[in-house]
Amino acid sequence: MYFRSTGLGKTQLAGKVVEMKRQGDFLIMHVDTIEPVKWRIRAAMSFRDLATVMKECGKAAIISFLLSPKQWFNKSPNHPGDF
């Protein structure tokens, strides 16, 4: 997983989701970045945020990505370029 932020300029962070848990009315997602710095990033998602994610996942382009057998076995996906 790659991360970019307008606050970090062109810096790209590489990381992975390590945990999700419920805390009150939120789902807390923990992401560990591993390059170029080692950070633990946390995101608190409300029900409305999760509903937005689910709605976006219903788009044809996302569904075709999820159902593509190529994605299931792709051990080293191509970099997405400038995102």
Residue 83 is assigned to a structural domain of this protein: no
CA distances from 32 to 7, 19, 29, 59, 63 (A): 18, 9, 10, 28, 26
Residue 64 is assigned to a structural domain of this protein: yes
Our count of domains for the chain comes to: 1
Length of the chain: 83
Q: Please give the residue range of the domain that contains residue 53.
A: 2-72
Q: How confident is the model at residue 50 (pLDDT cuts 50, 70, 90)?
A: very high
Q: 1-46: per-residue pLDDT in tens?
A: 999 999 988 899 999 999 999 999 999 999 999 999 999 999 999 9
Residue 46 is assigned to a structural domain of this protein: yes
Please tell me the distance from the alpha carbon of residue 42 to that of residue 22, in angstroms, as a whole number: 12
For the cut 90, the answer to whether the pLDDT of residue 72 exceeds it is no
Give the predicted TM-score (pTM) of the model: 0.77
